Structure 1
Amino acid sequence: MELIVGPRTRVTPFTDRAVAAGMTKAMVYNHTVLPIGTDDPSAEYRALTQAAAIWDVGCERQVQITGADAHRLVTYLCARDLRDLPVGVARYAPMCDHDGRLVNDPMALRIDETTFWLSIADSDVLLWARAVAGEGGYDVEVTEPDVWPLAIQGPRAADVVAAALGEWARELRFFSFARHDHGDIPMVVCRSGWSGQGGFELFLMDSTKGEQLWDLLWEAGQPFGLGVGAPNNPERIESFLLSFGGDTDPETDPDEAGIGRFVSLSGDDDGPEASTSHDFIGKAALRARRASGSQRRLVGLVIDGDAPSPLRSPRSVQSPDGHPVGTLRALARSPRFDANIGLALLDPPWFEPGTELRVSLDGANRAATTTTLPFNLD
């Protein structure tokens, strides 16, 4: 099957370089091509976990909100309290609809006093933010800027970025960023990324410089074992990094998805940023959902048997007597644990750790056991 690209499905400034480096598989994410694999997934995993990997994540689109009311709108859109977010800092900030269901789980970056980026997962946040801004009469402009992230992840990521851009990059703290012009390549350099290995995201601010930036990093990274890769499913499941829209369904709220600690409600158990005065979309509904005690939960599953085929769609998870109790949302053979691991969205009380369940994979009804996240099977 050939992937046809056009105005509805865009390539990134890095697509050609990623293909030339060995990427052979891709999907569509935020209406944009996302390379997702080479013909050697073991080499991808080794590069990410033992050296460094370069990822074309230009599909991680930015929703830019700028204007006099930008701060007020962003704090209303995001369920995490961002009222004290300083310039130069990013925060993971889930967004909900009015019924408390997840709309997206972006990283919010405060670029300057009146400009924010929402670095989004796969949903049309641009349309959502424009609708909320228009209905609320906010004095803002909501756009998608010419900004394209390129990720360097892995234990040698700091070595790669420092060699390419300068030793100053090592001083960046986790979830902090700095504007940097490397010659004629403008970018924002952020200590962040969608892996448990640590790394950087370089937000290129001129799409004509994509190949130039890729080549700079590729050359600088070769002494450190830099390899091409993509957001890595086995590693992110091992580390438990939520994949919005994959691990979740349209009814999932932040508590069910395991990211409730990033939601600023009121009360002793709602995190250090809990606030009674922070108003945001879905706040009342989330309080009611949390009080009901009937929510599902995303948990880990360890599944018996040989390495399974890739999961193409969610699969039913069943109790030992065959009663459906939820869905398997993600699945991989873990190189770290030498086990089949997955993420399942389960009804109460079936999500309790150590619960014995069943799931059908590759024509076999396999035994599975729930576990806490992130996985700790060592």
Structure 2
Amino acid sequence: MTTLARSNRVRRTWWTDAVDAAGCTAYTVYNRMMLPASFGGTDVDCAHLKRAVQVWDVACERQVVIAGHDADALMQRLTPRDLSRVRPGRCAYVPICKNDGGMLNDPVAMRVAEDEWWVSLADGELRLWIEGMAAAGGYSVRVFEAETQPLAVQGPLANELTGRVFGAAVRDLPFFGFGRYDFDGIAMIVSRTGYSKQGGFEIFVEEERLAMPLWDALFAVGADLEVRAGCPNLVERIEGGMLSYGNDMTDAETPFEVGLDKYVQRYDCIGGAALKRHVSDRRLMAVEMEGPVPVCDRRWPVMDGERRAGHVTSAADSIEFGCGVAIGMIDRDWAPGAAVTVETQDGPRPARLRENFWA
């Protein structure tokens, strides 16, 4: 089996040693950092995530800070989502497009203060784009990568575990809200966000000296909750229709093609003119496959006889639903319920297009 060759080009996190000790069996690379990808196996990890609570090293979610007099103006210029109602203490999911309307990234942005945003990056070099737009537009801002590493707590028992460490008040955070909560005399930003359908929190650690004490505290008080180290789970995210930038969308797709229509609310942004003209002839859909499903490390053609209906972008076997679960970019000529064939590297798999995702 091949392994990840570690080097200084792929950055460690403040928790890499702890993640190794917790039994991580695979890493991927995300924003040039190590991101755990498996512990007990994708299926085992998925079942535990749905039942209990996990602590995830998601330091790869790099935080790009936009701060200064024109921070709000630049942030609004970057996205078609209307941010006028996003107040300090709130987060917003913000598709960011290039000039032709193609998706550059789909981060979550936190409005930390009146003149400051933190942009939590999906995989990609968005910081350089933001710096370029700030310079070209003459915006009075500073753009830089914060010395901050997030730790996620995800799963149905995340509320209980996080409350034990940060106090009961953290349990009252609304979805996509955040605040500062005390840990060992330090006020840490905790947000009601995370990359799973199970719910949970993300904790933004701003000093390396606090990283392992926080990790140890979460495990010390969570033994009776079956707390484990975990990571974003391929099966769980596909079942829930959660998209992965670089897999399910790239700069070749627009928000309309990846189901983000509701976030295109204004056109005075970069790419706005192209989005206003755009007519979508394809869209992402759930695709139910017969298993077993091989590793989806390339785009698989979706065929209807001799006609190509689209391609699969992500896929995995789901024990809970007893089938292969997949996300596909499908031409609008094909409707839910259509029988198709997915051409994998291990041979064809019968499949069916679905109206909705599984969870």
Same fold (TM over 0.5): yes
> Where does residue 145 of structure 2 map in the other structure?
144
CA RMSD of aligned residues (A): 1.5
Q: State the alpha-carbon separation in 1 of the partners of residues 186 and 338 from structure 2.
A: 53
Alignment equivalent of 1:359, drawn from 308, 321, 342: 342
Q: Of 317, 320, 327, which residue of structure 2 is paired with 1:336?
A: 320
Q: Deviations over 1:174-216 (max 9, x none)?
A: 1000023412555210011111111001111112321111111
In the alignment, which residue of structure 2 is the partner of 1:275?
A: none
Pairing 1:1-378 to 2, within 5 Å after superposition: 1-265=2-266, 279-289=268-278, 292=279, 294-304=280-290, 306-319=291-304, 321-350=305-334, 352-361=335-344, 363-375=346-358
Offset, 1:14: 1.3
Give, as a single letter, the amino acid of the residue that structure 2 aligns with 1:65. Answer: I
Distance 1:95 1:220 in 2: 39
Measure, in 2, the Cα distance between the counterparts of 1:65 and 1:5.
31
Number of paired residues? Answer: 358
Q: Deviations over 1:40-75 (max 9, x none)?
A: 333311221011111111101111000000011001
Shift of residue 37, structure 1, vs aligned partner = 0.4
Q: Secondary structure at the match of 1:353?
A: coil
- Residue 72 of structure 2 aligns to a residue whose secondary structure is helix
Paired residues of 1:308 and 1:362 also in contact (CA < 8 A): no
CA distance in 2, matches of 1:196, 1:107: 16
2:132, 2:345 → 1: CA distance? 44
The offset of 1:107, in angstroms, is 0.4
CA contact (8 A) 2:313 2:327 kept: yes
Single out whichever of 358-367 and 58-67 deviates more from structure 2.
358-367
Do the aligned residues in 2 keep the contact of 1:44 with 1:228 (CA within 8 Å)? no
Aligned to 1:274: none
Question: Quick check: 1:89–1:109 contact (8 Å CA) kept in 2?
Answer: yes
The residue identity in structure 2 corresponding to 1:297 is: R
Equivalent residue letter for 2:198 = Q
Percent identical among aligned pairs is 36
Gaps of 5+ in 2: none
Any unmatched runs of 5+ in structure 1?
266-277
Per-residue CA deviations over 1:264-314 (Å, capped at 9, x if unaligned) read 14xxxxxxxxxxxx621111111111xx3x43111010112x322221211
* Counterpart-to-counterpart distance in 2, 1:364 and 1:102: 31
Q: Is the 8 A contact 1:93 1:262 kept in 2?
A: yes
- TM-score, normalisation: structure 2: 0.96
Secondary structure of 1:149's aligned partner: strand
The answer to which of 177-186 and 198-207 deviates more is 177-186
Q: For residue 39 of structure 2, what is the amino acid of its counterpart?
A: T
Query: CA 1:184–1:4 in structure 2 vs 1: closer, same or farther (change >3 Å)?
Result: farther
Q: Structure 1 counterpart of 2:253, which letter?
A: T
Deviations 1:110-146 (A, max 9, x none): 0111110011100111100000000000000000001
Instruction: Give the Cα separation in 2 of the matches to 1:112 and 1:246.
Output: 33
For 1:141 and 1:295, how far apart are their aligned partners in 2?
39
- The one-letter code of the counterpart of 1:74 is M
Aligned-partner SS, 2:89? coil
| Structure 2 CA distance for partners of 1:24 and 1:236, relative to 1, 3 Å | same
For residue 4 of structure 1, report the CA deviation from its aligned partner. 3.4
Partner SS state of residue 74, structure 1? helix
